[in-house]
Amino acid sequence: MEREAPADLKPADVIRHAESAAPVDMRPIEITTHEAAPCRCSPCNGGRAAAAPTPLIVLGLIGLNYIPLVLFLLDQQLDGGRVVSIVFFHLFLILLLLAYFMAMCTDPGVPPVEWQRKMQQAAARGESVQVCRRSGLYKPPRSHYDSVTERLTLNMDHFCPWVVNTVGFYNRKFFILFLVYTNLTLLVAVVTLFSQAWSAWDWLQDASGAQRRWFSPGIVNTVIYVAAIVIDVVLLCMLIPFMQFHLRMAARNETTIEGYTNSKYDVGARGNLQSVFGRELWTWPLPLYFHGPDGDGLHWPTTDSLRESRTVVPRATSTLPVRSSAA
């Protein structure tokens, strides 16, 4: 027969009685996690992308590198180094285009209807809720109204004209990967094009007078090489700091709207990056949705809640013993 708690115990005595009657679980209290929504296509983004000139500029810059780096080499004898460069160029280019497509087409996320109904019920009970002045919708933490798309966007960072979409909770990963693979593609292109331009210059030094005429293949190729190198170097000088800025903001769990503040949502670099790239590390460099970012964009663990969860709190695995009817 299990022993029962005496009837005249005080609250503190009841707690001690429970701890002595049941084994103690020393695991820390865990933060409730929320799952990301399935990947959705951004509404009406096809029309904006078709009307915007920026996708054509992106494709034009890719073509400026692809033509001299790949097509011009088809008429030359390829050595091992150039083959490796072309392989990596195509690998990074494919990842770049996929990340660009996903950043452009993925819906950054808006407060779902079910959540709005819950907030409406909470407001009816007299609870404090935030309302967006522009849209009139109940406003989750870290959401902001985008005047371009006229939507209340979850964890909004900014509207990017290059991807013709708002960068928010569900597509921030793809925007950052687009920057990463753009820089990697440009680096490979600059190294390879510089080697080709150097070879073309050596060839011009040994060429005859007829081969040095303007609009001759050797002159035209060299001009294209140099122009592509100059443009790529300028882009790298702009995009590398921009990429570092966004990676640093993601690691601190901040957005460009929130700015450099002592973010209360900073739960450590790994947890912060998981809220952008997802829980599983191997999915981070791949511009695919998989299970989405860690969370739902509505509920955000804070530094204080994480600190409380890491505090070891003894808790009984069962309640006070119940009197047994058996002797």
Is residue 306 in a domain? yes
Indicate which residue of 41, 44, 105, 160 is catalytic: 160
Asked whether residue 14 is domain-assigned, the answer is no
Judged by DSSP in three states, 191 sits in helix
Quick one: pLDDT band at residue 314, thresholds 50, 70, 90? very low
Rounded-to-10 torsion of CA 255, 259, 261, 265: -10
Tens of pLDDT, residues 254-274? 999 987 666 789 999 999 999
Assigned domain for 34 exists: no
pLDDT at 2 over 70: no
Q: Is residue 220 part of a domain?
A: yes
One-letter amino acid of 204:
L
> Rounded distance, CA 25 to CA 313, Å?
8
Q: Supply the angle between the helices 269-277 and 217-251 in degrees, to the nearest 10.
A: 120
Give the whole-number percent of the chain exceeding pLDDT 90: 54
- Output the CA angle 160-153-94, nearest 5 degrees: 45
Cβ atoms of 109 and 118 within 8 Å: the answer is: no
Non-local CB neighbours of 82 within 8 Å, separated by 6+ positions: 73, 192, 195
Expressed as residue numbers, the domain containing 299 is 45-310
* 160: its two tokens: 């990017």
pLDDT in tens, 3-58: 444 445 444 443 343 344 434 443 433 444 566 666 777 766 778 888 889 999 99
Name the residue with higher pLDDT: 83 or 280.
280
* Residue with tokens 């829980």, as numbered in its chain: 279
160 is annotated as an active-site residue: yes
Residue 320 lies in a domain: no
Question: Does the residue 167 lie in any domain?
Answer: yes
Total of domains in the chain: 1
**DSSP 3-state of 153:** strand
Torsion, Cα of 23, 24, 29, 35 (10° steps): -20
Of 221 and 116, the structure prediction assigns the larger pLDDT to 116
Which residues have CB under 8 Å from 240's CB, separation 6+?
183
Q: Which two tokens stand for residue 325?
A: 């009817």
Binned at pLDDT 50, 70 and 90, residue 316 comes out as very low
pLDDT at 178 over 70: yes
- The CA distance from 171 to 110, in Å, is 12
